[in-house]
Amino acid sequence: MFTDSVVLSFYFETPLHAAAASVLGSVDRPVQRERTTLWPFIQAATLEASLRTSVGDDSAAKLFGVAGEDAAGALSIGDARLLLFPVRSSAAPFVWITCPAVLARLRRDLARTVGKEIPAPPSVKADEILTTASWKHGDEPVAAEDVVLKPRKGFDPAPWLALVPSAGVGYDGFDQELAGSLGLVSDEVFAFLARTATELDTTVAEDGSPQYAETVPADSLFYVPVMGTAAKPSKGKKKELSALQALEKSLATHVRVGEGEHYGRGWARTALLKAEGGAQ
């Protein structure tokens, strides 16, 4: 029985290609997208395969079960949901965006899994970008891709910034750096940009025709609830670890997700949010 929960986040340092099963329009190899929202996401099976490789054979068998057998593992992994999406901007090389619908979902997920309460997201108009107190790009209208938005203060991401890596080489204080270029846009604007602001890689097929593979841009942030079984009673002096403790111990700081290993695709920095609110 799964009794404990954490939330694992992935900040992608290189573009992500988690391939969908079917062709989408003129894109030969689209990324995985939710059926209802069309937001990019990462299926649980894709994540499990990546984590199996990351934690090593001994831990993988205990945590996920033996590959090819029906025996259940000690972890239950959900689909990874998009939290922050980077878009090209006139104010900076890029800014990060999220929206009320994304944060409402996050609010429910955090309450269900780690018991963390965060405020309901504020409302935002279609022509606005609601900015943080540390927004560093002024008060003039900002272009996010082809959408022009008027900055307005009033967005506080502090309750969930623990999902952003903020310690270790290259990440000291990164959560605060991110907050300076982070804005809340309307659900409609977010949906439009999440559909249209991904990247396309062009390759040539054996017959000479072009093929297009979609990637989610680097600097995207996803999160996934993970549940685990409790530790078994120990018969010796050595205390048995719970499944989530074993995951925390074996989890690498960087995990590679999806396809494109030879092109450096899918490298993500991990962070782990536990019930007490700490991340690493």
pLDDT digit string (tens) for 132-151?
999 999 999 999 999 999 99
pLDDT digit string (tens) for 195-214?
999 998 887 777 878 888 89
Q: Which residues are registered as beta bridge partners of 268? A: 12, 255
Q: What is the rounded CA–CA span in Å between residue 74 and residue 61?
A: 9
- Token pair 């549940």 is found at 227
pLDDT band at residue 170 using 50, 70 and 90 as cut-offs: very high
Nearest to 139 by CA among 126, 127, 130, 152: 152
What pTM did the predictor assign? 0.92
pLDDT digit string (tens) for 46-68?
999 999 988 877 788 888 876 65
pLDDT digit string (tens) for 227-275?
998 877 666 666 778 889 989 999 999 999 999 888 899 999 999 999 8
Q: How many CB atoms lie within 10 A of CB 240?
A: 13
pLDDT digit string (tens) for 105-142?
999 999 999 999 999 999 999 999 999 999 999 999 99
